[in-house]
């Protein structure tokens, strides 16, 4: 394990007293926090023997809701794939999340997703956003309409999949870029701290983000300012079409947390309850004013980076090779191996094992989720298209900009 | 000669230069330097030159641009291919370093480097961050870097050869909407100047000036107008900086009417610069420009395609100007 030298610990405690007005009490609290951080740093959550305890103590309806969220994300994914490859009129595209459902679900289950905006925890998402959106509480019907660019979609047809956002549940939203959103998220965390709010800012990032300056800027500034900021890095092994070894020299990206003197935790991203437990620890820490956490969830996406080449209607998983990925990309055997540890199955089996669900009840929940997804896409199909001239709206709060394409 | 796509033609030029110069390097992050075209050998720079010289990096466009700049300063020719999502992430290093270093060093810094910046403008559905075309304006505004935007595979090859051989940093803009464009391109290496516009059709009634991804619509509009009897001179800018004022002014002196077409935003678009230069040099001419409105590109195709200038817009504007 990564025990810090005593000199490094003293640096940490010195850093914690960065406020010129810090009282002795704040200082001592900083020392205690630093100690906790050291023991927590860059360890596997499983190895810490901390698994199952909080999640297992949750009420049955909360646990059932987590299973419900997982299968809702899964069936949204599967319905969208089927739509893309069977309906020539469908215009939506997707960066699929199937295989990673447990991460979004476990993370958002530990957050405040309802209520007035100034009490919501905020989630910044990636260009792979639909799972995060559903877990945070975004309406599936409106999201389906947005993904097909309908006027009544979540963002009025202006955003599409890579720019989904929903203020009502604190989903700041998807981002088509790699990195900048993560630094911006620390700004939300800074605002929370400045106004003594108990809110936290959470950012989802991928393994590719490690290479960007934004990853380091976000963690460095969040650590320096002790911000209520949680970095959830979904390591699905590939940024776009390249293995993460192209962008990161470490096996565990969570090791980077050592540099910033904050906790860095590796968690099995296929197990929603392990994700929940590490997230709960991080959220408690952030709300208590003890600063940021880096969580690395080891997970895997079943479909390709973008779209679903090779997919077959009604079949889960896509094993085709994208035309863009002429060089190295993932082997099919690897995809199949990960599918043996499916987050839906793992969640279902644990809840049956804990006596929270029967298999029959789990099947009912899944059937309802499937119906909800199919109904959502059917509803979206009937929504009106955007008016062309509305493209001139929403540039500024007031008015429209002039049309310049006519001369 | 063989029919080649835009990118095949470019990689052919690069392959030739890399074979000549063992020190030359290529950095990319998403798009492997691989291209094929029927009846021609597959070009795979990574395979041919190995991963010491051709590197797939993590997602960090700032590093990629800085890396080739550093390579240039160390005496190596270098190219980086920055995909459209990240084509402004490296802006700062090009604006504040690549563009200024020769001047700041009193002429000592050498930067034989090419920033191959992909841009869209042709893509409805992706919205905001993935549909922009405005970088032509941004990069053309920087002193100290040449900024070119070839619109045909033939120009793309010749201008890449010139860009690599040029001792100055070159922003080489790639309109990704032209990915599918094919034409006959010579197999041997040749160079195309980095400071000359191309006159595509000759006429005396109106000059229509476009560039990059907008050129296919300009040529389509010109063709239809000519069939209706209008004598249209079309000019493909190709080089935004330095801009070929002479060709532009000569044409407008003849036609006295200038229509510019841009896929980038109206305010300060390249067309605005074209009009300014012609207005300074030609008396009694009339001007009009069309461009994308000053709005981020919305996702819905209905909105986006209505806003993007097309052949119909060009024809209507030309008729207004000539009629």
Q: What are the beta bridge partners of residue B115?
A: B80, B171
pLDDT in tens, B190-218: 999 999 999 999 999 999 999 999 999 99
Instruction: Read off the pLDDT of residues B22-35 as tens digits, 9 standing for 90 and up.
Output: 999 999 998 889 99
pLDDT surpasses 50 at A40: no
**Rounded Cα distance, B72 and A103, in Å:** 44
Instruction: Report which of A208, A291, A278 is spatially closest to residue A15, judged by C-alpha positions.
Output: A291
Mutate to test the interface with A, among B56, B299, B305, B318 (most CBs of A within 10 A): B299
Query: What is the CB neighbour count within 10 angstroms for residue A191?
Result: 15
More confident residue, B129 or B98: B98
Yes or no, beta carbons of B30 and A324 under 8 Å apart: yes
CA torsion, ordered A277, A281, A282, A287, to nearest 10 deg: 130
Per-window interface: B 241-260 vs A, CB < 8 A: 259
Q: Write out residues 80-99 of A within 8 Å (CB-CB) of B.
A: 91, 93
How much of chain B is helix, strand and coil, in % rounded to 5?
A: 40, 25, 35
d(CA A158, CA B297): 8
How many interchain CB pairs under 8 A, A with B? 164
Q: What pLDDT sits at residue A16? A: 33
**Which of the four pLDDT bands, split at 50, 70 and 90, describes residue A124?**
very high
A215 in contact with B at a CB cutoff of 8 Å? no
Tell me which chain A residues have a C-beta less than 8 angstroms from the C-beta of B126.
Answer: 160, 162, 176
Convert the pLDDT of each residue in B217-248 to its tens digit.
999 999 999 999 999 999 999 999 999 999 99
> For residue B131, what pLDDT is reported?
83
The CATH number given to A59-385 is 3.40.50.970
Ramachandran assignment for A265, one of left (phi > 0), alpha (psi -120 to 50 degrees), beta (any other): beta
Q: What confidence tier does A49 reach under pLDDT thresholds 50, 70, 90?
A: low
Of B195, B146, B197, nearest to B173 by C-alpha is: B146
The pLDDT of residue B82 is above 80: yes
- In DSSP notation, B131-193 reads S--THHHHHHTSTTSEEE---SHHHHHHHHHHHHH-SS-EEEEEEGGGTT-EEEE-SS-----
Q: Report the pLDDT averaged over residues B84-94.
A: 92
Ramachandran angles phi, psi of B21, nearest 5°? -125, 105
With an 8 Å Cβ cutoff, are B129 and A158 in contact? no
The chain A residue lying nearest B306, using CA atoms, is A388
DSSP per residue, A153-221: STTTTSS-GGG--BGGGTEEE--SSSSHHHHHHHHHHHHHHHTT----EEEEEEGGGGGSHHHHHHHHH
Q: Report the run of H or E that residue A68 belongs to, with start and end.
A: helix A60-86
Asked if the model's pLDDT at residue A35 lies above 70, the reply is: no
Among partner residues A246, A325, A406, which is closest to B317 by beta-carbon distance? A406
Tokens of A47: 């190895």
Tell me how crowded residue A24 is: count the other CB atoms within 10 A of its CB. 8
Which residue of chain B comes nearest to A385, CA vs CA? B302
Distance from CA of A142 to the nearest CA of B (A): 15
Please state, as a whole number, how many other Cβ atoms lie within 10 Å of the Cβ of residue A56.
13
In the predicted model, is pLDDT for residue A3 greater than 50?
A: no
Inform me whether the C-beta atom of residue B26 falls under 8 Å from chain A C-beta atoms.
no
On whether any CB of chain B is under 8 Å from the CB of A29, the answer is no
Residues of B in contact with A394 (CB under 8 A): 298
pLDDT band at A322 (very low <50, low <70, confident <90, very high): low
Better-predicted residue by pLDDT, A51 or A152:
A152
Q: What CA–CA distance (Å, rounded) separates A158 from A41? A: 42
Query: A95 vs chain B: nearest CA distance in angstroms?
Result: 12
**CB < 8 Å from B in window 337-396 of A:** 385-392, 394-395
Any idea what the Cα angle at residue A208 is, between residues B49 and A282, rounded to 5°?
A: 160
Task: Say whether pLDDT at A324 is over 60.
Answer: no
Comparing A230-234, A265-269, B131-135, B151-155, the range with the smallest average pLDDT is: B131-135
Average model confidence (pLDDT) for chain A? 87
Q: Is the pLDDT of residue A21 over 90?
A: no
Q: Which residues from chain B sit within 8 angstroms of residue A151, using beta carbons?
A: 300
- What per-residue confidence (pLDDT) applies to A48? 55
Is pLDDT above 50 for A15?
no
Angle at A48 between CA A43 and CA A49, to 5 degrees: 155
**What pTM was computed for the model?**
0.90
Q: Do A177 and B296 touch (CB under 8 A)?
A: no
Q: What is the pLDDT of residue A309?
A: 73
User: Is the bond into B242 cis (omega within 30 degrees of 0)?
Assistant: yes
Q: In the prediction, which pLDDT does A30 show?
A: 38
Chain B nearest-CA distance from A74, in A, is 23
Task: Examine the pLDDT at A42 and tell me if it is beyond 70.
Answer: no
The answer to whether B316 contacts chain A (CB < 8 Å) is yes
Angle between helices A343-353 and A60-86 (to 10 degrees): 150
pLDDT value for A1: 30
pLDDT (0 to 100) of residue A52: 58
What pLDDT was estimated at residue B164?
Answer: 98
- From A364's Cα to the closest Cα of chain B, the distance in A is 36
A chain contacts of residue B30, beta-carbon cutoff 8 Å: 240-242, 324
Best to test chain B binding among A148, A155, A179, A391 (most B CBs inside 10 Å): A391
A95 to chain B: closest CA residue: B126
Output the pLDDT for position B126: 82
Q: Which of A206, A244, A405, A406 is best to mutate for the B interface (most B CBs within 10 A)? A: A405
B residues 41-80 near A, CB within 8 Å? Answer: 44, 46, 56-60, 62-63
Q: What is the rounded distance in angstroms from the CA atom of residue A179 to the CA atom of residue A212?
A: 6
Give φ, ψ of A138 to 5 degrees: -70, 140
Better-scored residue on pLDDT, A248 or A317: A248
pLDDT at B143 over 90: yes
What lies within 8 Å, CB to CB, of B231 at 6+ separation is B203, B204, B205, B206
The domains of chain A are located at 59-385
pLDDT in tens, B154-189: 999 999 999 999 999 999 999 998 988 999 999 999
Asked if pLDDT for residue A8 goes beyond 50, the answer is no
CA–CA min distance A58, chain B (Å): 39
Which residue in A has a C-alpha nearest to residue B309's C-alpha? Answer: A405
């Amino acid at each position: 394990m990564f025990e810090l030298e005593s000199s490094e610990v003293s640096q940490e405690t010195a850093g914690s007293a960065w406020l010129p007005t810090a009282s002795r009490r704040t200082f001592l609290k900083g020392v205690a926090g630093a100690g906790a951080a050291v023991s927590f740093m860059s360890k596997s959550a499983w190895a810490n023997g901390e698994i199952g305890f909080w999640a297992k103590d949750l009420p049955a309806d909360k646990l059932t809701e987590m299973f419900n969220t997982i299968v809702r994300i899964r069936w949204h994914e599967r319905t969208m794939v089927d739509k893309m490859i069977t309906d020539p009129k469908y215009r939506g595209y997707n960066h699929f999340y199937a295989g990673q459902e447990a991460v979004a679900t476990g993370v958002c289950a530990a957050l405040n997703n309802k209520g007035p905006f100034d009490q919501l925890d905020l989630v910044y998402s990636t260009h792979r956003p639909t799972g995060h959106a559903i877990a945070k509480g975004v309406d599936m019907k409106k999201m389906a309409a947005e993904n097909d660019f309908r006027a009544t979609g979540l963002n009025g047809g202006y955003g599409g999949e890579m720019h989904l956002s929903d203020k009502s549940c604190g989903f700041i939203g998807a981002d088509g870029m790699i990195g900048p959103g993560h630094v911006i998220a620390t700004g939300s965390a800074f605002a929370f701290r400045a106004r003594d709010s108990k809110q936290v800012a959470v950012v989802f990032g991928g393994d590719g983000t490690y290479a960007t300056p934004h990853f380091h800027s976000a963690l460095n500034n969040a650590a320096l300012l002790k911000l209520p900021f949680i970095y959830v890095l979904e390591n699905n092994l590939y940024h776009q079409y390249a293995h993460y070894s192209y962008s990161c020299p470490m096996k565990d990206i969570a090791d980077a947390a050592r540099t910033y003197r904050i906790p860095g935790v590796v968690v099995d991203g296929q197990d929603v309850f392990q994700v929940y437990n590490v997230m709960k620890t991080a959220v408690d820490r952030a709300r208590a004013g003890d600063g940021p956490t880096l969580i690395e969830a080891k997970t895997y996406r079943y479909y390709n980076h973008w779209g679903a080449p090779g997919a077959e209607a009604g079949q889960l998983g896509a094993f085709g090779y994208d035309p863009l990925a002429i060089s190295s990309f993932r082997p099919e055997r690897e995809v199949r191996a990960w599918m043996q540890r499916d987050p839906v199955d793992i969640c279902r089996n644990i809840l049956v094992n804990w006596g929270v669900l029967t298999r029959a009840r789990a099947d009912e929940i899944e059937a309802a989720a499937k119906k909800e997804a199919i109904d959502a896409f059917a509803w979206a199909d009937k929504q009106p298209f955007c008016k062309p001239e509305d493209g001139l709206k929403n540039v500024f709060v007031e008015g429209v900009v002039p049309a310049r394409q006519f001369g | 000669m063989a029919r080649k796509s835009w990118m095949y033609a470019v990689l052919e030029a690069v392959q030739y230069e890399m074979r000549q110069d063992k020190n030359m390097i290529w950095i990319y992050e998403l798009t492997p330097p691989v291209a094929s075209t029927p009846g021609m050998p597959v070009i795979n720079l990574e395979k041919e030159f190995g991963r010491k010289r051709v590197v797939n990096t993590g997602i960090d466009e700032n590093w990629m641009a800085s890396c080739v700049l550093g390579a240039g300063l160390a005496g190596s020719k270098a190219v980086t291919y920055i995909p459209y999502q990240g084509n402004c992430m490296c802006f700062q290093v090009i604006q504040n370093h690549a563009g200024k270093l020769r001047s700041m060093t009193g002429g000592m810094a050498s930067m034989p480097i090419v920033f191959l910046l992909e841009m869209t403008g042709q893509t409805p559905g992706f919205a905001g961050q993935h549909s922009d075309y405005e970088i032509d304006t941004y990069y053309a505004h920087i002193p100290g870097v040449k900024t070119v935007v070839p619109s045909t595979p033939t120009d793309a090859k010749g201008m890449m050869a010139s860009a690599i051989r040029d001792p100055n940093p070159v922003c080489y803009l790639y309109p990704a909407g032209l990915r599918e464009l094919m034409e006959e391109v010579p197999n041997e290496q040749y160079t195309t100047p980095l400071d000359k516009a191309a006159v595509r059709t000759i006429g005396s009634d109106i000059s229509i000036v476009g560039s990059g991804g907008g050129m296919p619509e300009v040529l389509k509009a010109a063709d239809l107008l000519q069939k209706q009897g209008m004598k249209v001179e079309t000019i493909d800018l190709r080089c935004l900086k330095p801009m070929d004022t002479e060709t532009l002014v000569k044409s407008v002196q003849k036609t006295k009417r200038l229509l510019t077409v841009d896929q980038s935003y109206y305010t300060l678009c390249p067309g605005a610069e074209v009009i300014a230069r012609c207005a300074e040099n030609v008396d009694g001419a009339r001007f009009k420009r069309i461009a994308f409105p000053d709005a981020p590109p919305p996702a819905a195709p209905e909105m986006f395609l209505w806003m993007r200038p097309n052949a119909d817009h060009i024809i209507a504007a030309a008729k207004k100007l000539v009629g």
